[in-house]
Amino acid sequence: MTNLQVVTIFVNGRPIAAPVEAHESLLDFLRNKAGAVEVKCGCNQGDCGTCTVLFQGKAVKSCLVLALQAGGKEVKTIKGFAGDPLMEQLQESFVRNGAIQCGFCTPGMLITSYAFLQANPSPTREEIRTAISGNLCRCTGYKKIIDAIEEIAMKRSEKGPFRPSPSTYSEGQEEAKGNYLLLGGG
């Protein structure tokens, strides 16, 4: 027996109303009723973080929120940050630092990073590493993701110019920093 209730959730500032079952998750609502397929479903059980959204200002795994709990409330997905300077900087940093390979963890990872930097303006690299420990990545090994976040954190806290760890390489750099060895031809 399906017991449907209509709920209105503000997704990226727009009210979206749809009937849902009591046990339907916010993730299901976002993907299936609000057309917000930028919120990914990797496991549907809270173990991977790909469904992370900003809910009431906090990063949450949307598969662990009942849609009805979000009634009348604000949810922001990765598409809800147009014009937001911190998010745009983070996105640009991710893109430039090679923090995006397959990209499936990226929307969730960006939201977690955004919320973290907002609450922690001057984090250490280890604190950044811990902040993303609920978001799995299977492609990058996490290093370039942490580089990308750290770069923005340092810029914001004016700790001085970002010094890449020995093996990070920025566009335009001609010389490798000692980690590249050219052996004369074959």
Of residues 93 through 132, those in contact with another protein by CB under 8 A are: 94-98, 100-107, 110, 112, 116, 129-132
Closest distance to another protein from the beta carbon of 15 (Å): 18
Nearer to another protein, 9 or 137 (CB): 137
Q: Which residue of 13, 17, 19, 69 would you call a contact of another protein, by CB under 8 A?
A: 69
Exposure string of 80-98, with b = 16+ CB inside 10 Å and e = fewer, is: bbeeeeebebbbebbeebb
Can you read off the two tokens belonging to residue 108? 């969730």
Query: Residue 154 interacts with another protein (CB under 8 A)?
Result: no
Residue 6: φ, ψ to 5°: -85, 135
The answer to whether the beta carbons of residues 107 and 86 sit under 8 Å apart is no
Binding residues for another protein restricted to 27-56, rule: CB under 8 A: 37-50, 52
Binding residues for another protein restricted to 11-30, rule: CB under 8 A: 21-23, 25
The answer to whether the beta carbons of residues 11 and 36 sit under 8 Å apart is yes
